[in-house]
Structure 1
Amino acid sequence: MNAPMPAQIPLGPRRWKPTPLITGTAALHVGAAAAMLAQPATWPWATGGVIASHLVLTAAGLWPKSALLGPNWTRLPKLPEAATDNCLALTIDDGPDPEVTPRVLDLLDEHGARATFFCIGDLARQYPQLVEAMIARGHAVENHSQRHRHTFSLSGPGALRREIETAQRTLTDISGQRPLFFRAPAGLRNPFLEPVLCDLGLHLASWTRRGFDTREREASKVTQRLLHGLAPRDILLVHDGHAAHSASGQPVVLDVLPDLLRAAARAQLRWTTLRDALVESPLKSAASPVQKAFDATPFDKIR
């Protein structure tokens, strides 16, 4: 399920609006408690309903492209004047990686493509020159958490905030740009995430399709998954970190990207960043006045 994109997508902190699933779950909890107080014998039904609602919430969090817990970019929004109608977004996760990222950047340069790098804060601290190179070459750097813990989706609101906010500071300090998007590790999350993102001025982004290039060793299969059904406004996911290697020892993503970039060119599709699809004047090299003001605001003033 994809959430509809508003005509004006806000920059900066947003007001959290619970989804129908969240409000329904809350109402069910209240109703179950009231039922047990009024008729204690109803406790099996009330308890069963509460357990079922938690299972639904868990399933929604395990579905990366779900919008049941809050807004979630699975495709680029449709913008006025057809600004994104011939665009794709290439998102690259889990870096920077000292072996793979420089070669990915070179490939993108060769094809005149721009990408969105979802960087891990701890790795950005280790290889700040790679993050700086991403920005210098016209790409966008976004938030993929500070440590990329596999237990991220099990965290409470306080732990989620600390993890995301630390990465936000790290990436802002290094890149000079405040991230506007967040992607959860493995795309997994829980109902506490969206209120934190709203407060930090971040938008959740997943993808239209991915190639599973962290475990698939055949580049042709990864490429086929990415190109099958390719359409304007798709968001594609590959990895420069944790990349699988082919039988020859080559990171698979380095074999996938040339074919992917050439296929987009043949289809007369161009690459944009999620950031450019968010600001008021998309696909421009300079940020809009709104974006410039947001980037210039001290980090602690947007909380």
Structure 2
Amino acid sequence: MSSPSLPSSCFTSAAVRRWKPSPFICGAAALHAGAAAALAVQPGAWPWAVGSVAASHLALTAAGLWPRSALLGPNWTRLPEPVGRRIALTIDDGPDPEVTPRVLDLLDRFDARATFFCIGELARRHPQLVEAIVARGHAVENHSEHHRLTFSLFGPRAMKREIAAGQRTLTEIAGVAPRFFRAPAGLRNPFLEPALCSLGLQLASWTRRGFDTRAQEAGAITRRLLDGLAPRDILLVHDGHAARDARGEPLVLEVLPPLLRAAADNDLQWATLRACLDDQTGHP
């Protein structure tokens, strides 16, 4: 399924978007302009100007540290209307040679479809796992090339380069371009949305997460995911960096069966993010 000779046009979605700064970004820009104008007219006002600019930077930083925020640009925290009784399971930080195949088997058992946010360099190490994800009816999306913990500190060029590298890697292996991006740890800055627009990608976070990379007990993860479970929810678990129990077993493998069973019991249907996007736009 790998396609190393794909043309560069295949590495981006057909839905390249025009970047439109959010009201929050526009407000920060206006504050900067006002501070500069105030200094030009009244140099003695520099404490006010510096304080205002510093406050705006703190606000922008705080918005980037809030993964579910839409202050910096569009962000899927729930599936769009109307999707009926569909929900989405998103699985991050893989592929992992030990965990991913077992996750796929569990999904098959419950006839569930999931969205895997894959790291490019791991996909290159384990291309057969990415191929298996696609072959078994799931979606592969972009979780960056290297999953740098400093991603939210990148400037515009470095950020776009990192996302584009992941896009190329995953497109070559999966045979189809990702349409969604999730930032490493969900952290970002104002440079992300322009980069996503130019690459035809949509930011997606989650409705709730299980904290299954650091939790000590599967029951606590399951309760977080099931608490208030409802149509349109986007749930987050991990096949990479998964926390383990005292026996060394990945907790996600204990969490998934009751989660998948609860969805079936409540007549909720698992859908990929891209399937819901197709329904929203009317274009597969």
CA distance in 2, matches of 1:248, 1:262: 24
- CA drift of 1:280 comes to 3.8
1:64 and 2:63 aligned: no
Q: 1:29 aligns with which of 12, 27, 32?
A: 32
The equivalent residue for 1:253 is 252
* CA offset digits 1:75-107 (Å, max 9, x no partner): 00002xxxx120110000000000000000000
In the alignment, residue 234 of structure 1 is paired with which amino acid?
Answer: D
- CA drift of 1:14 comes to 0.3
* CA offset digits 1:102-140 (Å, max 9, x no partner): 000000000000000000000000000000000000000
The equivalent residue for 1:180 is 179
* CA offset digits 1:170-191 (Å, max 9, x no partner): 0000001100000000000000
CA distance in 2, matches of 1:85, 1:64: 25
CA distance in 1, matches of 2:145, 2:232: 28
Runs of at least 4 residues of structure 1 off by over 3 A? Answer: none
1:268 and 2:267 aligned: yes
What is the identity percentage for the equivalent residue pairs of Structure 1 and Structure 2? Answer: 71
Secondary structure at the counterpart of residue 168 of structure 1: helix
Show the 5 A alignment for 1:1-303.
12-79=15-82, 84-280=83-279, 290-291=283-284
In the alignment, residue 216 of structure 2 is paired with which amino acid?
Answer: R
CA distance in 2, matches of 1:260, 1:14: 35
The unaligned stretches of length 5 or more in structure 1 are 1-9, 283-287, 292-303
The unaligned stretches of length 5 or more in structure 2 are 1-12
CA distance in 2, matches of 1:112, 1:218: 26
In the alignment, residue 264 of structure 1 is paired with which amino acid?
Answer: A
CA-based RMSD? 1.2
- CA drift of 1:217 comes to 2.1
8 Å Cα contact 2:80/2:280 also seen in 1: no
8 Å Cα contact 1:90/1:271 also seen in 2: yes
CA distance in 2, matches of 1:197, 1:249: 38
CA distance in 2, matches of 1:251, 1:209: 20
CA distance in 2, matches of 1:61, 1:70: 10
How many residue pairs are counted as aligned between the two chains? 272
8 Å Cα contact 1:11/1:279 also seen in 2: no
In the alignment, residue 229 of structure 2 is paired with which amino acid?
Answer: L
